A and B are shown apart, each in its own frame.
Chain A
Amino acid sequence: MTNLPLWLIPLFPLIATILLGTIAVTSSPSKKGPAEGIIGALAVMFPAVSFAVVVVLAYSMPEAGIRETLCNWIDIPMFKADIGFLFDGLSRIMLLFVTGIGTLITLYSVGYMHGDRGFARFFAYINLFLFSMIVLVLSDSLLLTFLGWEGVGLCSYLLIGFWNHDINNCKAANKAFIVNRVGDIGFILGMLCLVTIGGAGILNYDALNQFIQMIVSGNHVDIVVPALSVAGVLFFIGCTGKSAQIPLLTWLPDAMAGPTPVSALIHAATMVTSGVYLLARLGSMFVLLPVVLDIITVVGMLTAFWAAMAGLFQNDIKKVLAYSTISQLGYMFMAAGVCAFDASIFHVFTHAFFKAALFLGAGAVIHALAGEQDMRKMGGMIKKTPVTACVMIFAFLAIIGFPGFAGFWSKDLILEKLYVSGPMGPYFYGVGLLTAVITAIYMGRLIILTFFGEYRGSKESEEHIHEAPAAMLLPMGVLAFGAVFSGYLWADSMGITFFSDTLAPVVGSAQAYNALNHIHGHVNPMVFAGLGTLAAVLGMFIAYKIYGKARVPAAKGSSAPQGFKATWTFFFDSVHKYCGIIPVSVLAWICDVVVDKILQAIQWTLGAIATILGDGAASFQVRKVRLQVAFSIAGVAALVIVVLLTGGIV
């Protein structure tokens, strides 16, 4: 048991943000930026210290977790909230990989962002992101989680639009923020809904769990379920925004406009998984709400399938990975929807490794090709950048669920939980398996187009292809290691259940409650493993057949993300356009052109009438002396009468 206070964890990135932010602002007017060595060292050091603190705390944590209330935040008559932290099994896992992978990717960025004028600014944003993300997973109440929740959204906005001289990047950033805002309003309203049910204190996770326990033990479940369901749906809307699920998924492909390390850190490994984290955190509430759970499962299933299909048609290497992320998030939501919260968090964990490795590998490829992102202009890269290729291939094997690799264990687990979840289980399982085949196809396509065959770019660019510097390769190596071995933390068929044991104190009771109410069938896990392997191999085979020998069509135009003009996103952009943007624009047009003009017309008409009347009165006064005198007398008389009637002059 150590005495390290919890607030140390977010403190270090915060200090780094303030330091680097100050350096960035003060040095910005000068021509030359600050020394990259010092900035890079600062930027990596603080998250690393934070990671060290997390490791120390993770070793010494008692099973019930560590709770710490820092100070009061809001204190008004109807609402009180504290700033407090909660370090338990769930936040431990999240923090370990958030700070760990965060540090690695920061190190990678030092190499990737070399020579960029906004070097210091970039790392200030990255550290601000890490601070927000840590607050998100470490907080002990929904309100503070929301601070991190919007904080990471803000950083995502800042980093997507990092190269802000290009207006398309800014548009993509705006889109990300606004779509997320829609989800965030859901989150806020969800909180208000909970406050109505149980008072302001209920926003605290411990208090919420106690409240749920009280309801369950008192058999009052039926009374609160309608209100809780509303809250659950609202929270889920928040999650769909942050984790890019149907219908709020369109921002993530566009978000690839940001620098690649950002895509790896924010839009693959950490921020987008916060929706899954929230579902697990509120697990005890969600198990009471079968309707909401069904919605979550179906949405997750559709998203997983949909995004996998979309991934087949992308030519931008980062966009393939973006759709793949959405699809994998869909798996996590499916798992959460059948109350397998530990399995969904496990997939978050393994996915963080292999998807970050894939993104960093893609970043190294883009770096080697001086910014080229179109896969049709790549090919044969394995000869020039062997290390990157190896990392990418390991991560590829992990994501398609090749036996022994990380994705195999976690995806298999999810599919198994889906199958035994209830009467609809086999159908969910079928779609999941089909999606796994498609995953193998589009990922196989990515690997084949990038690393095999002949180089399809221009001759002069071919000479410049080089392997990435060590600062970039080291993090990639570590992540590739994770992509291979992180799955062995919970290898059911080998009898290792370390991962689920660490999560059991947090989500165990919720899952046990669910298990009570649903009949489980039992199927030999080896069958699932076999089918999963078959899916991966089949997908790879199809990809090889289609793309291995085929001629790749020459690239037409750019595939760079263009804000609202993104490539085909399976019509969700159109849905947003026709259901969101156009109605609002029409409404705004009506306000501006119709209502406001009418109001102005009334206003000026009144003004004109007053002017005319005034002119008329003036002409009276000048010319007709008698009338004027008569009016004066009448006026004085009226005044006198009024004064007398109201009590006279004292």
Chain B
Amino acid sequence: MLLHLLVIAPFIAAVLMVATSKEDPKSSSRLAILFGIAFVVMSVMLIAAGNQATNPIEWFRIPGTKGPVYYYLYSHGLGAWMVFLSCALSLVAIITARNTTCKNFRNFVIGIFSLMGAMNGTFLAADAVLFFFFFEAMVIPAAVLIAGFGGKDRTKAAMTFAIYTLVGSAPMMVALWYLLTISDNSLLLSLAVALQSLPEGTQTAILVSFLLAFLVKTPIFPFHGWQAITYAEAPAPLSAILTGAMSKAGVFGFIAWILPIFPLSMSVVNAMMWLGLVTAVYGALMALRANDGKKLLAFSSMSHLGLAVAGVFSLSEAMLPAVLVLLVAHGISAGAQFFLMGIAERMAGTRELDKLGGLASKNPVFSTLFGAAGIMSLAVPGTAGFIGEFTVLLSLWDMGPFPALVMGFSMILSAAYMLRFIQKVIFGKQAREYEEGTRTSGLEGAAIGVMTILLLVFGFHPAFITNSLHLFDEQAVEQMADVNKAEGEETATETMEMDEDETPIQAMSAEELAQLDSTLAANGFSEEERKSLIAQISGVESQLAASDSVDVIQAAADSAVMLADSAKTNVEALNKEASND
């Protein structure tokens, strides 16, 4: 229910907003803030509720494919936290936009809610087609909002953004369709199975087209052409959502779709890690030279997300919690910084760094927040950013000292550009007399203050984030198992699919089996469950000829760890079937 609400209710809220007054931002903002708070509460409940899934509803069939497309939502720790980011940032965006975007505030909120619905859908979709649908749907409200509420170059920015990202994911659409023609349905496991049957060249082509979509969305060097202009020209509250939540869709895609589906070879993993690192350094260097406050923040975001992607492809054991903490920390701190930059722009009438300055004496509360948010984005220990960057660095150190050194270099650079940014905006003397814009309102200040406090809380107690990955809600798992059983006629194919699902693990040595056993144990599997799973794997192993490379095993083991919960569902289902027989 929660899942449906989080995905569908934002669209309903957007429609309801139509009923409010167009001219009076005050009246419409009250309703909008109420809705926003409701969504934040729901997203917190979603995190607290742990893993859960909805009943798959058959949606439609794509011509040429075997199975139907489901409307099937599924929440795990990663997705739930991304949903939290999207809801929380949307709420703060609504609060700050009331003062920034006075003209036609209602339509702005409508756009924000539609964007939020699409983002939530992206992070919760269990079906590849559904995921892709929302992944593309995000672009539309965002582009419309940029075109409607942006700065001087808004039309160009909106066009660049829409075309670049849509073109970027076009190959993925084709690749996905091709995969669907050979797989049973569009769920994750059947896609992975279907991919195994393809020749290597085709696999690579599909992988590249998937990667491209996420590389563009994140964005990763050299596909970042849309980013700076979009973030700079978009209204600041929207930029905050774009960088804090929407850009996470790219990293999310790598973790939730690329890693489980594709058997990645070591060269691809290395290439992706280095792309991430290059992006980190490149973004930091560009930020050093940027003279537009929002562009600087855009490049800073790019740098941090580069680190996240590098972390993802370090594929270490600590990767998932590390990257998740980094993403949440970056979402909150970068979001807060964009909001604050928006306020600075409103107060000073410009976002050029050379024309800013001296805000510390003019508006001390704002400057305190500004400085705090800036310093917290530097990964100072005690803030969430430190936990994220330190653990990602730990993962990279696993890959060798050189990647870790590069990341260290980018961390030094981040201090350099961020301190310069803080100094130029709030310190020194005023560059000129500013025309009085609206000052920071109490609600705005409080909202951003809460964000900085959240960063501190997560910095001292990251278990709020990392534990959500261990969470096991027995009920939800059983419910999912029931769903799989209730599918009746499909059970036969499902079983087969499940058998095949384990095929990547077939070539495991005893040692690796033991390793898998221990990881499963670490993920909360009971004794019998592990035994049955291991037995299952070794049974399959004897049946099928093993020809997969070591990398396949590697990737499969990773995906097994990551999707341990879904694996658990399978085990449950198998157990039930066994007892039925």
Residues of A within 8 A of B (CB): 25, 28-29, 72-79, 83, 146-147, 149-151, 154, 157, 161, 164-167, 170-171, 173-174, 177-178, 181-182, 185, 188-189, 192-193, 195-196, 584-585, 587-589, 591-592, 595-596, 599-600, 603, 607, 642-643, 646-650
- Set A25, A171, A584: member contacting B285, Cβ < 8 A: A584
Q: Which residues of A sit under 8 angstroms from B321, Cβ to Cβ?
A: 76-77
Q: Which residues of A sit under 8 angstroms from B539, Cβ to Cβ?
A: none
- Interface check B515, CB cutoff 8 A: no
Question: Could you tell me if B318 and A584 are in contact, using CB atoms closer than 8 angstroms?
Answer: no
Question: Could you tell me if B460 and A78 are in contact, using CB atoms closer than 8 angstroms?
Answer: no
**Docked pose: A600 CA to B226 CA in angstroms:** 9
CB distance from B160 to the nearest CB of A (A): 8
- Interface check B413, CB cutoff 8 A: yes
Q: B8-16, B247-255, B414-422: which lies at the A interface?
A: B414-422
- Interface check B463, CB cutoff 8 A: yes
Question: Could you tell me if B416 and A170 are in contact, using CB atoms closer than 8 angstroms?
Answer: no
Question: Could you tell me if B318 and A78 are in contact, using CB atoms closer than 8 angstroms?
Answer: yes
CB distance from B175 to the nearest CB of A (A): 13
Q: Which residue of A lies closest to B283 (CB)?
A: A591
Question: Could you tell me if A170 and B408 are in contact, using CB atoms closer than 8 angstroms?
Answer: no
Beyond A78-B317, A170-B423, A643-B63, is A592–B397 a contact (Cβ under 8 Å)?
no
Beyond A72-B463, A165-B361, A171-B423, is A650–B415 a contact (Cβ under 8 Å)?
no
* Most A-side CB within 10 Å, residue of B286, B321, B412, B463: B412
- Interface check B576, CB cutoff 8 A: no
CB distance from B574 to the nearest CB of A (A): 26
Question: Could you tell me if B288 and A588 are in contact, using CB atoms closer than 8 angstroms?
Answer: yes
Q: Which residues of A sit under 8 angstroms from B358, Cβ to Cβ?
A: 165
Taking CB atoms and an 8 Å cut-off, the chain B residues in 276-301 that contact chain A are 282, 285-286, 288-289
Q: Which residue of A lies closest to B288 (CB)?
A: A588
CB distance from A452 to the nearest CB of B (A): 39
Question: Could you tell me if A647 and B427 are in contact, using CB atoms closer than 8 angstroms?
Answer: no
**Docked pose: A171 CA to B427 CA in angstroms:** 10
Q: Which residues of B sit under 8 angstroms from A147, Cβ to Cβ?
A: 381-382
CB distance from A104 to the nearest CB of B (A): 27
Question: Could you tell me if B428 and A164 are in contact, using CB atoms closer than 8 angstroms?
Answer: yes
The 7 residue pairs across chains A and B that have the minimum distance between CB atoms: A28-B364, A78-B318, A147-B381, A185-B408, A167-B428, A76-B321, A588-B285
Q: Write out, one digit per residue, whether chain B residues 352-387 have a CB within 8 A of any chain A CB (1) or not (0).
A: 000000101101110010000001000011100011
Question: Could you tell me if B381 and A151 are in contact, using CB atoms closer than 8 angstroms?
Answer: yes
Q: Which residue of B lies closest to A588 (CB)?
A: B285
Beyond A72-B463, A77-B321, A178-B419, is A188–B282 a contact (Cβ under 8 Å)?
no
- Interface check B90, CB cutoff 8 A: no
Question: Could you tell me if B285 and A587 are in contact, using CB atoms closer than 8 angstroms?
Answer: yes
- Set B282, B397, B463: member contacting A192, Cβ < 8 A: B397
Chain A at the B interface: SS class: helix
Q: Which residues of A sit under 8 angstroms from B317, Cβ to Cβ?
A: 77-78
* Most A-side CB within 10 Å, residue of B224, B427, B463, B467: B427
- Set A164, A588, A599: member contacting B222, Cβ < 8 A: A599
Question: Could you tell me if A28 and B289 are in contact, using CB atoms closer than 8 angstroms?
Answer: no
**Docked pose: A50 CA to B420 CA in angstroms:** 36
Q: Which residues of A sit under 8 angstroms from B151, Cβ to Cβ?
A: none
Q: Which residues of B sit under 8 angstroms from A171, Cβ to Cβ?
A: 423
- Interface check B169, CB cutoff 8 A: no
Q: Which residues of B sit under 8 angstroms from A181, Cβ to Cβ?
A: 411-412, 415
**Docked pose: A584 CA to B419 CA in angstroms:** 16
13 of the cross-chain contacts (CB-CB < 8 Å) are: A73-B460, A74-B466, A76-B466, A77-B522, A165-B361, A171-B423, A189-B404, A189-B408, A587-B285, A588-B288, A599-B224, A603-B164, A650-B63
**Docked pose: A587 CA to B416 CA in angstroms:** 14
Q: Which residue of B lies closest to A186 (CB)?
A: B408
Q: Which residue of B lies closest to A196 (CB)?
A: B397
- Interface check B531, CB cutoff 8 A: no
Q: Which residues of B sit under 8 angstroms from A29, Cβ to Cβ?
A: 363-365
- Interface check B437, CB cutoff 8 A: no
Beyond A28-B365, A154-B375, is A74–B419 a contact (Cβ under 8 Å)?
no
Question: Could you tell me if A167 and B289 are in contact, using CB atoms closer than 8 angstroms?
Answer: no
Q: Which residue of A lies closest to B228 (CB)?
A: A596
- Set A74, A75, A603: member contacting B225, Cβ < 8 A: A603
Question: Could you tell me if A591 and B282 are in contact, using CB atoms closer than 8 angstroms?
Answer: yes
Question: Could you tell me if B423 and A167 are in contact, using CB atoms closer than 8 angstroms?
Answer: yes
- Interface check B492, CB cutoff 8 A: no
**Docked pose: A77 CA to B522 CA in angstroms:** 9
Question: Could you tell me if A188 and B427 are in contact, using CB atoms closer than 8 angstroms?
Answer: no
Q: B134-142, B332-340, B388-396, B540-548: which lies at the A interface?
A: B388-396
**Docked pose: A160 CA to B66 CA in angstroms:** 68
Q: Which residues of B sit under 8 angstroms from A149, Cβ to Cβ?
A: 381
Q: Which residue of A lies closest to B414 (CB)?
A: A181
CB distance from A218 to the nearest CB of B (A): 26
Q: Which residue of A lies closest to B465 (CB)?
A: A76
**Docked pose: A587 CA to B382 CA in angstroms:** 32
- Interface check B316, CB cutoff 8 A: yes
Question: Could you tell me if B419 and A592 are in contact, using CB atoms closer than 8 angstroms?
Answer: no
**Docked pose: A77 CA to B524 CA in angstroms:** 13
Q: Which residues of A sit under 8 angstroms from B522, Cβ to Cβ?
A: 77
Q: Which residues of A sit under 8 angstroms from B428, Cβ to Cβ?
A: 164-167, 170
CB distance from B56 to the nearest CB of A (A): 18
* Most B-side CB within 10 Å, residue of A177, A178, A591, A649: A591
Question: Could you tell me if B404 and A650 are in contact, using CB atoms closer than 8 angstroms?
Answer: no
Question: Could you tell me if A164 and B368 are in contact, using CB atoms closer than 8 angstroms?
Answer: no
Question: Could you tell me if A647 and B64 are in contact, using CB atoms closer than 8 angstroms?
Answer: yes
Question: Could you tell me if B66 and A596 are in contact, using CB atoms closer than 8 angstroms?
Answer: no
**Docked pose: A584 CA to B414 CA in angstroms:** 12
**Docked pose: A607 CA to B66 CA in angstroms:** 36
Taking CB atoms and an 8 Å cut-off, the chain B residues in 414-441 that contact chain A are 415-416, 419-420, 423, 426-429
Question: Could you tell me if B316 and A78 are in contact, using CB atoms closer than 8 angstroms?
Answer: yes
**Docked pose: A174 CA to B288 CA in angstroms:** 14
Q: Which residues of A sit under 8 angstroms from B466, Cβ to Cβ?
A: 74-76
Beyond A76-B322, A165-B428, A192-B404, is A591–B63 a contact (Cβ under 8 Å)?
no
Beyond A165-B427, A643-B63, A647-B181, is A178–B393 a contact (Cβ under 8 Å)?
no
- Interface check B38, CB cutoff 8 A: no
- Interface check B462, CB cutoff 8 A: yes
Q: Which residues of A sit under 8 angstroms from B65, Cβ to Cβ?
A: 650
**Docked pose: A181 CA to B409 CA in angstroms:** 10
CB distance from B178 to the nearest CB of A (A): 8
CB distance from B227 to the nearest CB of A (A): 11
**Docked pose: A29 CA to B387 CA in angstroms:** 34
- Interface check B41, CB cutoff 8 A: no
Beyond A165-B427, A167-B423, is A647–B463 a contact (Cβ under 8 Å)?
no
Beyond A150-B380, A167-B427, A649-B64, is A589–B463 a contact (Cβ under 8 Å)?
no
**Docked pose: A465 CA to B404 CA in angstroms:** 56
**Docked pose: A171 CA to B63 CA in angstroms:** 64
- Interface check B61, CB cutoff 8 A: yes
CB distance from A249 to the nearest CB of B (A): 17
Question: Could you tell me if A592 and B427 are in contact, using CB atoms closer than 8 angstroms?
Answer: no
Q: Which residues of B sit under 8 angstroms from A72, Cβ to Cβ?
A: 463
**Docked pose: A565 CA to B127 CA in angstroms:** 60
Question: Could you tell me if B368 and A28 are in contact, using CB atoms closer than 8 angstroms?
Answer: yes
Taking CB atoms and an 8 Å cut-off, the chain B residues in 321-347 that contact chain A are 321-322
- Interface check B163, CB cutoff 8 A: yes
Question: Could you tell me if B462 and A74 are in contact, using CB atoms closer than 8 angstroms?
Answer: yes
Q: Which residue of A lies closest to B225 (CB)?
A: A603
Q: Which residues of A sit under 8 angstroms from B390, Cβ to Cβ?
A: 188
Q: Which residue of B lies closest to A175 (CB)?
A: B419
Question: Could you tell me if A151 and B380 are in contact, using CB atoms closer than 8 angstroms?
Answer: yes
CB distance from A140 to the nearest CB of B (A): 16
- Interface check B102, CB cutoff 8 A: no
Q: Which residues of A sit under 8 angstroms from B368, Cβ to Cβ?
A: 25, 28
CB distance from A625 to the nearest CB of B (A): 29
- Interface check B405, CB cutoff 8 A: yes
Q: Which residues of A sit under 8 angstroms from B224, Cβ to Cβ?
A: 599
Q: Which residues of A sit under 8 angstroms from B423, Cβ to Cβ?
A: 161, 167, 170-171, 174
Q: Which residues of A sit under 8 angstroms from B404, Cβ to Cβ?
A: 189, 192
